[in-house]
Structure 1
Amino acid sequence: MNGKLYGVGLGPGDPSLMTVRAVEVIAEADVVAYHSARHKRSIARSIAERHLRADHIEEPLVYPVTTETTDHPGGYRGAMEDFYTEASARLAAHLDAGRTVAVLAEGDPLFYGSYMHMHKRLADRYDTEVIPGVTSVSAAAARLGTPLAEGEEVLTILPGTLPEEELAARLATTDAAVVMKLGRTFPKVRRAFEQAGKLGRARYVERATMEQERTARLADVDADSVPYFAVAMLPSQVDAGRAVPDAGEVTVVGTGPAGPLWLTPESRGALADADDLVGYTTYLERVPVRPGQARHGSDNRVEAERAEFALQLARRGRRVAVVSGGDPGVFAMATAVLEVASQPEYHDVPVRVLPGVTAANAAAARVGAPLGHDYATISLSDRLKPWEIVEERLRAAASADLVLALYNPGSRSRTWQVGRARDLLLEYRDPRTPVVVARDVGGPEERVSIVRLGELDPAVVDMRTVLLVGSSQTVAVARGDGETIVWTPRRYPDA
C-alpha cells in the first residue's frame, strides 16, 4: 500500500505560527523533505526543527542553482526541470514503499512555493493532503499594523520578477498591492512604484516574524540591503488619508466607450489617485466610488464651465481627474480643458491628457476592420460649427474615397442631419457601400448592424450611435457561421 503525501505550510518564519495540523502531520510522518540552496541550510527545516525526531528520514531537496548561471544545455529552466523530476522521483520511491512523506514549505505550500512542483508531479498518483499556512503577505500586513485591503478594494499580488513596465501598469490600476521576490529585483520594483505614483504610500517588510525582521517606508530602503525574503506593500487607502501633493494637477482621462473593461491601466490609476472627479454625470457613473474622493457631476452641455472648475480645484492643490468618454481628444473634454488652461491665470497648472479607446475603434472592432485603410472622422453636429462646414468636409472626404467615421449623427433636437449626409455621400459612393451602425458599444444596450448606404434609415440613429461608412474598397463578407465581417484592404488597387 502506498504512503501519503503531505504539503505542509509552516507559516512565515516564527515557529509559533505553525498550525496545529502542521505539527500533527510532521509528528506522524516517516519522511520529512525540505528544499534548500547548495549551502544545505534550509529555512523550512529551521522553522520545523523542534518537531523533528531522530528517527525521521530527512530528504534535503537541494537546488542545483538559485540565481547563478548554469552550463545545463537547457539553461536555468532546464536545470530546474531536471531537478524537480529527480526530486519527485526520490519522494515517489518513499511513497511506493508505504512511507508517509511531509514536504515542508515556508508560508503556504501553494502560494509561490516550491512544494507545488512536487504536488503537480505526484498528487495525481498518490493520496495527498495540503496543509495551508500563514503567508508572508498576511504576516507583513500584521507587522505593519495596517489594513491590507478593506471593503471593495482590490488587492493585487505581484512577483518582483515581472518587467518594470508591467509592474508599474499593474500597480497603477489597483487599490492595494504586495510585490514579492525582491532581493535583486528591488531597484526596478521601487522605480515601478514611483512610475505608478504610489511610492509615497508604499511600505517595506523584511523577514516578517523572524529575528531579523525590519519594516520601513519603501522610499527609504537601501537597495543593497534587500534580501529575497522581503515584500513591498501598498496598504489600504481607506482611512489612510491622501498625501498632499506639492501642487495640484488636472488629468483628462478617457474612459473608453463603456465600462471598466475599456479602461487603460494608466487611466484606471489616474482615476484611483484623484482627489476630485469632474465630468458629465453619465460618465462619472462608470467610475467606482472611492472613500475620500469628491465627485462633481454636471450636464453634458457645460464643458467650458466644467473645465474651469477643474482647473480652479487644481490651483488649490487638488489632484483632479476630468472624466471623458471615449478618447478625451476626440470630440471630448481635452479640448475644453486645454482651451481654458491656455488662459494666463492657469498657465502654472499641470495638465495631462490620457488616451482612451474611441467609439470608432470600438465599433470597428465589433465587425472586423473597416478602418483598415485611410479614414476621416467627422462630427455631424452643427451646434458648434455651421452645417455648411460639415457638408464641405463630407464632400472632401467622400471625393478622396476615405472611409468615414461619423460622430454625433443625431439627437432628439437634430433629426435631419443623417439623411442629408447620406444623400450627399450617395453622390460619391455606390448605394451598396457597407455602413456600420453601432450604438452603445460595450454598454448594456449595445446594438451593431451592417446596412447598405442606400438603405441607411435615420430613424435608427441617435446621439449614442457612431456610423462607419465604407470607401469604394470596403468589403462586407458573410462567413460560414452566419456572421458578416467588414474590412477595408490596406493595399489600394494598382499599388
Structure 2
Amino acid sequence: MNEARKAGRLYGVGLGPGDPELVTLKALRVVKQAQVIAYPAARHGQSNARSIVQSELVSEQIELPMIYPVTTELTDHPGGYEGAISDFYDEMAKQIAVHLDLGRDVAILCEGDPFFYGSYMYLHDRLAHRFATEVIPGVPSIMGAAARLGTPLVRRDTELVVLPATLSENELIARLNRSSAFAIIKLGRNFTKVKNALVRAGLFDRALFIERATMASERIAKLSEVDPLDVAYFSLILIPGLRETHQNSVSNDAGRLTVVGLGPGSSDWITPEASQALSDATDLVGYHTYLDRVAVTPGQCRYGSDNKVEAERARHALSLAESGRRVCVVSSGDPGIFAMASAVLESVEDGPATWRSLDIHIVPGLSAMQAAASRVGAPLGHDFCVLSLSDRLKPWEIIVKRLHAAASADFALAIYNPVSSERRWQLTEAQAILAQHRSPETPVVLARSVGRADEKIVFTDLGRLEVSQVDMQTLVLVGSSTTRKLSLSNGRQLIYTPRSYGTLSDAK
C-alpha cells in the first residue's frame, strides 16, 4: 500500500523594505529551498518582492506570479474593489493549495514583514488551517526608512502610531497629536490629503518624506517640495517623537492658549478638533470635574480648581501660556456659552500687554441646550433665547428684565443655571414671569446630566413645573406659543417648534 503523500509547508517570507542585504539569513535559506516561489506582481509582470531575491532563485523552482486584478484603478466587479481582491485571494489560495497537496513547499514572498500590512496575511487566513505554516519576519519599511533618514522615532515613553493614508482627512487629524511619533504609510494619491491633515494638526514642520526606502531608487525630499502627482505608493512620512527635554520644557516663543469645549457629557460628543487640541497641550487647566473627563496623557500637567474661580483659572492659564507652554482651558459644552472663553478674553483685556501676543484659539463644542433639545425632538426649531438664572455675575433685576422681554417676544427658552444650593427661589419667580406671557400648557423639558450615565429627561408644562425636580445639573427648556407635542406610534413623546410661525393671531 502506498503511503499518503505528505503535504508541503507554507512559508510567508518577509524580505524587508527593499535592500537585498536586509533580507534575513533564514528568509534566504527558505527562498533557496522552496520548490514553489509565489509573489505579488502587477499586470505588467514586474514584482518588487521577486526583484529583491531574484539572484537567489534557482532554475528548478516553480514560479507562481500572483497578478493583482486591480490596484488603484476602478473595477467593474459587482463587489467593487473589495470583491475583486477577495476573489483574487480565493483563486490564488486554490492554486497554492494544489502545490501544497502535491507535497511541494511554497514560499510566498512579501516585502517588509508578512504580518505588518503584508499581502501574505490574506493567504494565511485561507490556508493556515489546512497546512503546516511558518512565517519568517522581515524588517518593516518604517524601520528601514528611519534608518535611512538617520532619525530615532521613539524615546522612553513616547508612543509610535502607524496610520494608513487611506483614512479620511478628519480621521487623520483626530489621531495626530504633538506628543507621539507617527508613521503614515500607503501614500500614493493620498499625499495631498495627508499633507493638509499635517498642516491642520501643526505637525507639518516635523514630517519627513521618503520614497522607496533602502531601494536603489530611494528618494528623500522635503515635504514642501514633493509633487502630489509624483508620489509612489511605496512612500511614507515619518514624524519622530519629540525629545523628552523638548516636550515639557519652557519655550522662549509666544505660547498657545486654546479654550476647548468637551460637549455636555458623552465622550462621543467631543469633536476631533477638541481631541487634537487636548492631546497637543503641555498643560490642562479647568474645573476639576471637567478635567476628569479628559484622558491622561503622559508628561502633561493638569491644574484642577473649583467651579467658581473662572477669573483665577483664566489668569493662571494665560501665565502658563506666556511662559511658552501649550495650554488648554477645558470647558463643558461650548466654551463660548456661559463658560471659559469669555473669562479668558476678559482677562486678556484687563491683563498685561504680553498676553495680547499669545496665540489664542477657541474650539467649539456641542452645547448642553443642543444635546438636551435633541433628546426630546426640536423645541428650539424656531427663534429661541438662552438665559442663565445665576445672579453671581449680574444683578437679578437684569435677569427679570430679560425674562419679561424674551417671554413677551414669544421666544422658546433654554435656561441655564436654574437653581443652586444657595438660590432655590429664582426658578419659581422665573416660572411666574413666564406664566404672565404663556399658557399653563406650554411644554417644558427638564434635562439633567444629558449624555452621562445619570441622564434624566422629564416632560412637563409651565403650569405643573415642580422646582423640586430641578438642580444645578438641569437645563430647562420652555416652549414658545407655537411649540407642539407629538406622540409617535410606539408611544414615544416628542416636542418641536415649527419652522413657520403661522398667523399673528395664532401666536397671541
TM-score calculated relative to the size of structure 1? 0.81
Aligned: 1:103 with 2:108 = yes
- The change in CA–CA distance for 1:331 and 1:115 in structure 2 (over 3 A counts) is same
**14-23 vs 465-474, which moves further:** 14-23
Provide the secondary structure at the position in 2 that maps to 1:314.
Answer: helix
- Map Cα deviations across residues 207-251 of structure 1 (whole Å, 9 max, x no partner): 455566677875687879864323212344572623847322322
Instruction: State the Cα distance separating 1:163 from its structure 2 match.
Output: 4.8
Instruction: Report the Cα distance in structure 2 between the residues aligned to 1:476 and 1:150, rounded to whole angstroms.
Output: 59
Instruction: Report the Cα distance in structure 1 between the residues aligned to 2:143 and 2:380, rounded to whole angstroms.
Output: 49
1:231 partner amino acid: L
2:374 partner amino acid: A
Provide the secondary structure at the position in 1 that maps to 2:244.
Answer: coil
Q: Alignment partner for residue 131 of structure 1, among 131, 135, 138? A: 135
Provide the secondary structure at the position in 2 that maps to 1:304.
Answer: helix
Instruction: State the Cα distance separating 1:141 from its structure 2 match.
Output: 5.4
Provide the secondary structure at the position in 1 that maps to 2:64.
Answer: strand
Which residue in the other structure is 1:403 paired with?
Answer: 412
Q: Alignment partner for residue 274 of structure 2, among 267, 270, 293? A: 267
2:285 partner amino acid: V
Provide the secondary structure at the position in 1 that maps to 2:37.
Answer: strand
Provide the secondary structure at the position in 1 that maps to 2:233.
Answer: coil
Which residue in the other structure is 1:89 paired with?
Answer: 91
Instruction: Report the Cα distance in structure 1 between the residues aligned to 2:225 and 2:433, rounded to whole angstroms.
Output: 66
Query: 2:31–2:56: 8 Å Cα contact kept in structure 1?
Result: yes
- Map Cα deviations across residues 181-229 of structure 1 (whole Å, 9 max, x no partner): 2345445433421221122333445545556667787568787986432
Gaps of 5+ in 1: none
Instruction: Report the Cα distance in structure 1 between the residues aligned to 2:35 and 2:438, rounded to whole angstroms.
Output: 83
Query: 1:156–1:177: 8 Å Cα contact kept in structure 2?
Result: yes
Instruction: Report the Cα distance in structure 1 between the residues aligned to 2:362 and 2:236, rounded to whole angstroms.
Output: 33
Query: 1:29–1:102: 8 Å Cα contact kept in structure 2?
Result: yes
**195-204 vs 26-35, which moves further:** 26-35
Query: 1:419–1:458: 8 Å Cα contact kept in structure 2?
Result: yes
Instruction: Report the Cα distance in structure 2 between the residues aligned to 1:492 and 1:3, rounded to whole angstroms.
Output: 78
- The change in CA–CA distance for 1:371 and 1:202 in structure 2 (over 3 A counts) is same
Query: 2:444–2:479: 8 Å Cα contact kept in structure 1?
Result: yes
1:42 partner amino acid: S
Which residue in the other structure is 1:374 paired with?
Answer: 383
- The change in CA–CA distance for 1:452 and 1:131 in structure 2 (over 3 A counts) is farther
2:422 partner amino acid: S
**53-62 vs 91-100, which moves further:** 91-100
**420-429 vs 83-92, which moves further:** 83-92
Which residue in the other structure is 1:490 paired with?
Answer: 499
Instruction: Report the Cα distance in structure 2 between the residues aligned to 1:310 and 1:354, rounded to whole angstroms.
Output: 16
Which residue in the other structure is 2:51 paired with?
Answer: 46
Q: Alignment partner for residue 326 of structure 2, among 314, 319, 342? A: 319
Which residue in the other structure is 1:180 paired with?
Answer: 185
Instruction: Report the Cα distance in structure 1 between the residues aligned to 2:493 and 2:28, rounded to whole angstroms.
Output: 63
- Map Cα deviations across residues 269-288 of structure 1 (whole Å, 9 max, x no partner): 22222233332232233333
**44-53 vs 380-389, which moves further:** 44-53
- The change in CA–CA distance for 1:294 and 1:174 in structure 2 (over 3 A counts) is closer
Which residue in the other structure is 1:419 paired with?
Answer: 428
Provide the secondary structure at the position in 1 that maps to 2:258.
Answer: strand
CA RMSD across the alignment: 4.1
Instruction: State the Cα distance separating 1:167 from its structure 2 match.
Output: 3.2
Instruction: Report the Cα distance in structure 2 between the residues aligned to 1:90 and 1:314, rounded to whole angstroms.
Output: 59
Q: Alignment partner for residue 317 of structure 2, among 299, 305, 310? A: 310
- The change in CA–CA distance for 1:444 and 1:21 in structure 2 (over 3 A counts) is farther
Which residue in the other structure is 2:343 paired with?
Answer: 336
Which residue in the other structure is 1:353 paired with?
Answer: 362
Q: How does 1:93-172 map to 2 (within 5 A)?
A: 93-96=95-98, 98-99=101-102, 101-109=106-114, 111-115=116-120, 122=126, 131=135, 133-134=137-138, 135-140=140-145, 146-148=152-154, 151=157, 156-164=161-169, 166-172=171-177
- Map Cα deviations across residues 335-388 of structure 1 (whole Å, 9 max, x no partner): 121123234724333322111111112222333433333322111112222223
Query: 2:165–2:187: 8 Å Cα contact kept in structure 1?
Result: yes
Which residue in the other structure is 2:256 paired with?
Answer: 249
1:441 partner amino acid: V
Q: Percent identity?
A: 48
Instruction: State the Cα distance separating 1:255 from its structure 2 match.
Output: 1.8
- The change in CA–CA distance for 1:94 and 1:338 in structure 2 (over 3 A counts) is closer
Query: 2:66–2:92: 8 Å Cα contact kept in structure 1?
Result: no
Which residue in the other structure is 2:238 paired with?
Answer: 233
- Give the aligned length: 490
- The change in CA–CA distance for 1:62 and 1:461 in structure 2 (over 3 A counts) is same
Query: 2:153–2:239: 8 Å Cα contact kept in structure 1?
Result: no
Provide the secondary structure at the position in 2 that maps to 1:232.
Answer: strand
- The change in CA–CA distance for 1:416 and 1:80 in structure 2 (over 3 A counts) is closer
Provide the secondary structure at the position in 2 that maps to 1:253.
Answer: strand
Which residue in the other structure is 1:289 paired with?
Answer: 296
Instruction: Report the Cα distance in structure 2 between the residues aligned to 1:231 and 1:408, rounded to whole angstroms.
Output: 51
TM-score calculated relative to the size of structure 2? 0.80
Which residue in the other structure is 1:195 paired with?
Answer: 200
Query: 1:173–1:265: 8 Å Cα contact kept in structure 2?
Result: no
Provide the secondary structure at the position in 2 that maps to 1:297.
Answer: strand
Which residue in the other structure is 2:464 paired with?
Answer: 455
**330-339 vs 270-279, which moves further:** 270-279
- Map Cα deviations across residues 120-161 of structure 1 (whole Å, 9 max, x no partner): 7x559965858374433455457656354865x665432334
Aligned: 1:37 with 2:39 = no
Which residue in the other structure is 2:449 paired with?
Answer: 440
Query: 2:97–2:127: 8 Å Cα contact kept in structure 1?
Result: no
2:37 partner amino acid: V
- The change in CA–CA distance for 1:25 and 1:448 in structure 2 (over 3 A counts) is farther
Instruction: Report the Cα distance in structure 1 between the residues aligned to 2:481 and 2:9, rounded to whole angstroms.
Output: 71
Instruction: Report the Cα distance in structure 2 between the residues aligned to 1:38 and 1:178, rounded to whole angstroms.
Output: 29
Provide the secondary structure at the position in 2 that maps to 1:241.
Answer: helix
2:184 partner amino acid: V
- The change in CA–CA distance for 1:487 and 1:200 in structure 2 (over 3 A counts) is same
Instruction: Report the Cα distance in structure 2 between the residues aligned to 1:82 and 1:265, rounded to whole angstroms.
Output: 33
